[in-house]
Structure 1
């Protein structure tokens, strides 16, 4: 890319940056948790998500896009090119629940010491705004590209991706697409996704009143709360993890056990501490539920034994995709005396869905429990040597001075639903966070402004350079 164009990109980003930040704040203000139970005409995932989508489409329209939407499932923003076939991006305006542990209002963006804080600033409202401003560079410069640029705005990424399935039932696939919903440099391969729910045998004695963990299955619980029909005075102090577990009286004959772990995303368990596992450890250590609860606690202990799935019997690894990860994120009391524990597994191509189902059923059977599979998607990949992937990796390396290679990850993005797609930043899991900042899906979700600015420049370059490639599907 010539030096003059690079200077124009730099100048554009400098000019629009304060608008970018303001627009991210606008989207963060919507508590846009996708909820199909709250559907209404034109808002299949509820009013807050529809509000966020309308706000994003308003940004796009202000920037010069032609906007429409797919029955409220997906926002569509186009900058027409010479041909109707599309080079596209896709981001999402829905978010995971805020959860506990925030030092700020999660839905009021805070700008602090070069960081943005708020639910969605990095996953994925911040990147959604970047994608819109990246495409708008074409309008600003009066460039009529070879193909149409389409920015897609999803509404249901965090809980099912029914939005993209609805869209693809009614629209052609783009020639190529990237989603800014991952980390740099370029992710060309995603592990398979497997979800299941274990329902335990009955816990005798009616001692458990309630038990909570994460608010979403794909979040590692940073806090877990168990209420018991036992007086706090009869509960022994924890021996293991005493600094993370507290016991509180609620009322006479009722106590609360609170565990504080380290939350995070299900696909990135390194450095996290599952708060449910802390309580399971306490219950086994203390014996307060009695001997009759042993099958239930032994099952939970196996599920929570590690994040590699060894306790369940599903640990696996491949050279292309890396190791399997397993998160036991949500837990709740059902039928008055049974527990439902979910698992979220990201698996490589060295193990199959059938293997996972078999192992889970065998584990459940050992402890008189049952298991139900909630989702299963196979691993996905795009050839790392393709011109599109090489274009993106070259842009990243040229920008950063690094010699990075495409990689596989455990996160499941929109990319796996398209014929030719990858994910392309701007998350950085190696970034050292301030004490008051957190990761995506955890409390105090934060994004570093400098990295967002750099990502915007790379996205502009990516759109321009992808437009120059040949595509077999083009007519």
Structure 2
């Protein structure tokens, strides 16, 4: 590595770091959950997301970028180079709902013991700010970079990525793009995504009045609340997971069951505990349901039996992509039916059509229906691509760690571009503090030293990418 360049980058990172933290705080302070039902012209995902986009573009302008936006779908921030051809990044300013379980205000950044807490600090507002500061370093070079650097700011990543689809309708693909929305070193392959909703048969005189889970299908619920038309005195004390279940009287003849699980991202189920599944287990254990309600609870027990899809009959794995994962994220009672969503991340050893057929057959066994949702095939970018190798080299040089590309269950923006990968800044081996949580869960946190090192990696990676013939 060029020692003079490294020294310059280190000095820059130290110089701007307090500004970086302040800008992350500013962006976290905007509650930006995408909601297209609140959309208007120029703000298709609602005023909160538009506010976050304006905040991020304001940061970019202050750093010297030329800014614009794609009808409010995607923000565009450019550092012009000698060529109009682009090296690009894309991060997103929308977030999943805060959800229950927070010990701090999720939309007020808290700095504690070398960590940042707040919704979006690691997914993906913190990395969005890093990408802007990384690009801004290019303005300090002696001459314009060979390529234009473009920082894209998405607004609908957590809901459906319609933002980037809109952008690509009228804009060319960059020569190469990475998204700072995953783990290091380089994610060059992503599992397919499959979504569906299991719907019970009509339930008459049911005992389940209401039921809540996660606020997004791609989140593993840390808490689930089920209200049943049963007097609390008639409900037995839980046997399994008794320390995670609470039963309280709402009023005579009606009780509330609250389950406390361990939340997280649907694509990373290891170490989590789905709170909906805890309630399903209790309802069956207590034997308080009858008829179609009981029948659907047995289907729910099948769905929540494991996160590999074994009980559902959809488990599979491949060498390139690893195993399938499944999560039951949201649940509700509406119109006399119970509705349970699933979020499946699948390898190239199966297809969305095969998953659909198996889910429909499973639903039929329990007299339920299966409504099919999104389906995206697996995606990969060659590990031999010179840009991928450049990112791996920089990561290895900065960290001293072995750098090999990997496949992931999370679906990032990368899969929508012709030549793209995910590139940090997360580190799944990093132990979180007792009071901190992971992305999509309560008390989302990010390690400052980790983010600071990521900024250095991103700057050096951009400089290296600018040297390639793409």
Secondary structure at the aligned position of 1:206 is classed as coil
Name the structure 2 match of 1:282. Answer: 282
**What's the CA shift for 1:349?**
0.2
What is residue 366 of structure 1 aligned with on the other side?
Answer: 365
Matched residues in 1 for 2:268 and 2:438: separation? 10
Structure 2: unaligned runs, 5 residues or longer:
none
**Structure-1 separation of matches of 2:299 and 2:200:** 8
On the 8 A contact 1:214/1:223 being kept in 2, the answer is: yes
Q: Is the 8 A contact 2:91 2:153 kept in 1?
A: yes
The match for 2:232 is 232
Pairs aligned (count) = 470
- The answer to whether 1:464 aligns with 2:463 is yes
Q: Deviations over 1:146-194 (max 9, x none)?
A: 0100000000000000000000001000000000000001000000000
Corresponding residue of 1:245: 245
Structure 1 residue 204, shift from structure 2 partner:
4.2
Task: Provide the rounded CA distance (Å) in 1 between the counterparts of 2:237 and 2:290.
Answer: 17
Aligned-pair RMSD on alpha carbons?
0.9
Deviation per residue, 1:422-443 (Å, 9 max, x gap): 0000011221111100000000
Per the alignment, in what secondary structure is the counterpart of residue 188 of structure 2? strand
Match of 2:160 in 1: 160
After TM superposition, give the deviation of residue 403 of structure 1 in Å. Answer: 1.3
Residues 38-91 of structure 1: CA deviation (Å, up to 9, x unaligned): 001110001110000000000000000000000000000000000001000000
Q: How does 1:392-407 map to 2 (within 5 A)?
A: 392-407=391-406
Separation in 2 of the partners of 1:404 and 1:41? 44
Partner of 2:306: 306
What are the Cα deviations for residues 392-420 of structure 1, in whole angstroms up to 9, with x where unaligned?
Answer: 01111111111121000000000000000
Distance in 2 of aligned mates of 1:90 and 1:284: 45
The normalised TM-score by structure 2 is 0.99
Once the 2 structures are TM-superposed, how far is the Cα of residue 323 of structure 1 from its aligned partner?
A: 0.2
* Alignment partners' CA distance in 2, 1:296 and 1:369: 7
1:438 and 2:437 matched: yes
> Residue in 2 aligned with 1:171?
171
CA distance in 2, matches of 1:308, 1:143: 52
Contact in 1 for aligned 2:206/2:293 (Cα 8 Å): no
- The equivalences for 1:296-445 within 5 A come to 296-335=296-335, 337-445=336-444
Distance in 2 (alpha carbons) for counterparts of 1:61 and 1:395: 28
**2:78: which partner in 1?**
78
TM-score (norm 1): 0.98
Instruction: Tell me, in whole angstroms, the C-alpha distance in 1 between the residues paired with 2:127 and 2:2.
Output: 26
In the aligned structure 2, how far is the partner of 1:143 from the partner of 1:250? Answer: 69
Aligned to 1:37: 37
Q: Structure 1 stretches of 5 or more lacking a match?
A: none
Aligned-partner Cα distance in 1 for 2:438–2:128: 17
Q: Which moved more, 1:77-86 or 1:135-144?
A: 135-144
Deviations along 1:317-340, one digit per CA (max 9) or x if unpaired, are 0000000000000000021x3110
Whether the 8 Å contact between 2:202 and 2:292 is mirrored in structure 1 is no
How far has the Cα of 1:292 moved from its partner? 5.1
